[in-house]
Structure formats: structure tokens, C-alpha cells
């Protein structure tokens, strides 16, 4: 029996439909997770991401999911996408200081570069630590749309350059992964990311 992927409801996640479609194209099956009971029944976890750090953490707290998520992420493969990656940090500074899920010893800060913010469009990643989630996409462009970046120095999986500024575009720690880009908007390369996660 194939694993069931739980897509966590973080509130204003406008990319959820695209994630569901991409998982289906990759041959996986998914369910929405809005409470602890649903979380218990899934084998893998995806934290989607559109919106603000503070709002996402408020939504998870309101549904009693913060503690259970931290517990389940210790034993279930997890993929955070864009904001979903960012809220796995220790703390975020978007619209004020907010505690995150504290999976990674990292902070989320404003993207500071000479280019236009938000950083939008296709860009390539430079893999600095190989892992199964990024396998087969080493030379592919991915779609980015973000105004904040995750600052971490110990779990970096890939970096991306934007207007002479390098930022963390993927992170990995054990069975927990995060990508700053949107694989669900990244065509075939994005579907490959979901295939890799399904097969993980």
C-alpha cells in the first residue's frame, strides 16, 4: 500500500490545489490535515506555503497542531514548501517576532538584496549537500516567489543566487526537507521533487 501524504492546512495556502495536482501527477495520494486526528493517519507530511509566517503559526496554534506536528515530524518524512519551509525555523521576523516550529536552528528575515523584492520567477539551485529529494533536478530551474529568506548555516542543501545575493533555497535534516521554491509551479522538475518525496 502506498504512503498517504498529509497536506497541512496552514490557513491561507493558495497553492494547495497545485500541490494536490502535482502529487497526483507524481503518482501519490494525499489528504488534507486540519486536526490532530487527521495527522495521526498520514505517513508523510507536506507543509504548504503562501502567506505570512505569523498568520501560519497562528492558524496551526488555533488548531492545536504545533506540538503534534513537532512530534510527528520527528518520525515521518516531511517537506516544507516556501513559507512551509520558513515556519520550520526557530523564529521569524515577518510582521513582528514569531516563534516557529523550531525544527531547524534558523531565522527567517527579510530578503536583502539589490534586486526587486519579492524575488519572482524561475531560477536555478546550486546543490551543496546531496539528498534524495533533489535527485535528478540538479540543472533544472524552479519557480520562486518570496520576500523573506531562511538564514541557517548547518543544514543547507542548496543555495540560489539573486542579484549577487545568495540565499538558502533548500534545507535538509534527517527525514525533514524544505524548499524555498514552489515545486508545484515548476513544471516537470517540480513533479520530480514530489516523485522523490513519494519514493523516499
Query: Can you list the domains of the chain with their CATH numbers?
Result: 4-199 (3.40.50.880)
Contact 148, 110 (CB under 8 A): yes
Q: Encode pLDDT of 33-43 as tens digits.
A: 999 999 999 99
Cα–Cα distances (Å) from 96 to 68, 89, 128, 194, in that order, read: 25, 15, 31, 32
Q: Note if 113 is an active site residue.
A: no
Distance CA 95, CA 149 (A): 14
Name the percent of the chain in helix, strand, coil, to the closest 5.
30, 35, 35
Q: Note if 184 is an active site residue.
A: yes
Binning pLDDT at 50, 70 and 90, where does residue 171 land? very high
Contacts of 80 by beta carbon, 8 Å cutoff, 6+ apart: 46, 47, 49, 86, 87, 88, 176, 177, 178, 179
Q: Encode pLDDT of 87-146 as tens digits.
A: 999 999 999 999 999 999 999 999 988 889 999 999 999 999 989 999 999 999 999 999
Share of residues in the chain with pLDDT > 70 (%): 98
55-71 burial by CB neighbour count: b if 16+ within 10 A, else e? bbbebbeebebbebbee
The active-site residue out of 59, 72, 82, 107 is 82
Averaged over 11-28, what is the pLDDT?
87
Q: For position 7, what pLDDT does the model report?
A: 97
Question: pTM to 2 decimals?
Answer: 0.96
Q: Note if 40 is an active site residue.
A: no
Amino acid at each position: 500500500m502506498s504512503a498517504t501524504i498529509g497536506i497541512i492546512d496552514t490557513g491561507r495556502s493558495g497553492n494547495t490545489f497545485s500541490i494536490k495536482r502535482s502529487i497526483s501527477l507524481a503518482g501519490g495520494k494525499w489528504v488534507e490535515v486540519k486536526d490532530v486526528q487527521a495527522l495521526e493517519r498520514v505517513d508523510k507530511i507536506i507543509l504548504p506555503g503562501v502567506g505570512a509566517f505569523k498568520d501560519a503559526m497562528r492558524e496551526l496554534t488555533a488548531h492545536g497542531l504545533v506540538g503534534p506536528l513537532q512530534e510527528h515530524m520527528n518520525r515521518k518524512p516531511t517537506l516544507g514548501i516556501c513559507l512551509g519551509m520558513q515556519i520550520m525555523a526557530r523564529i521569524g521576523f515577518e510582521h513582528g517576532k514569531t516563534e516557529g516550529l523550531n525544527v531547524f536552528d534558523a531565522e527567517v528575515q527579510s530578503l536583502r538584496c539589490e534586486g526587486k523584492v519579492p524575488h519572482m520567477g524561475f531560477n536555478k539551485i546550486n546543490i551543496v549537500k546531496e539528498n534524495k529529494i533533489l535527485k535528478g533536478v540538479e540543472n533544472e530551474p524552479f519557480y520562486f516567489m518570496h520576500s523573506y529568506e531562511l538564514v541557517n548555516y548547518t543544514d543547507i542543501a542548496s543555495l540560489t543566487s539573486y542579484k549577487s545575493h545568495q540565499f538558502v533555497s533548500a534545507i535538509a535534516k534527517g527525514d525533514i526537507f524544505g524548499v524555498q521554491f514552489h515545486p508545484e509551479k515548476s513544471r516537470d522538475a517540480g513533479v520530480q521533487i514530489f516523485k522523490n518525496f513519494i519514493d523516499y
